[in-house]
Amino acid sequence: MGLAAFSTPKDMALKLFREAGRTWNAKTFEDMGDHLLNFSVTNSALRDWVMHHQGHAKGSAAYETWRCGAKGYLGECADIANVTKHFHLRKKIATLNEVEETRVALGPFGAIEGSESSHPSFEIVLSDGKAIDLLQFLFQICSAWESIFKADSNLGELPSHAYFMMVKSPGAAKATS
């Protein structure tokens, strides 16, 4: 029995976008970590929904192709969820470093004076040792999902994940498509 709110792959994709927004807009490292875990688990669930919807069997070549998507971040994200679910490390996976970021609003002539603010964030060190900032990780994964949905009209059209990233209270974000 499933939750009525999640009956299609599109429903799960919108949840992924909401989790991305919650992760990005979190005010503490603890909340950010909680939301990043939810994002990672949702990414894996969405993979399973889409693969099933498209008729791909677990372990098929389609799964390996998917893992390589978004510069390999789809697979890295799935590994974060999987290791957390099983409570032990079976292979080297991404790790998180806490960082403070300075964010600034940009206008037509560059940074807007006085708009700077500091926020907690993560630097994600991938299984190959390369580092990526949290925003790029979320962006690459959400953009890859937008492309997957765009390529398969049976999945339904998605709104841009960017909307969910900009909303200060992501729970209030409503998809119009």
Domain boundaries, the chain: 9-90+133-168
Q: What are phi and psi of 48, to 5 degrees?
A: -65, -40
Q: Which of 139, 55, 133, 53 is nearest to 94 (CA)?
A: 133
> Which of 29-33, 69-73, 114-118, 173-177 has the weakest average pLDDT?
173-177
Judged on CB neighbours under 10 Å (0-12, 13-18, 19+), 7 is: exposed
How far apart CA 45 and CA 40 sit, in angstroms, is: 9
Q: What is the average pLDDT score of the chain?
A: 86
pLDDT score of 96: 82
Q: How confident is the model over 171-175, as a mean pLDDT?
A: 48
d(CA 152, CA 10): 11
Tens-digit pLDDT profile for residues 94-123: 788 899 988 888 899 999 999 998 889 999
pTM (two decimals): 0.82
Give Cα 162 to chain centroid, integer Å. Answer: 12
At residue 26 the predicted structure's pLDDT band, cuts being 50, 70 and 90, is very high
Question: Is the Cβ–Cβ distance between 66 and 47 less than 8 Å?
Answer: yes
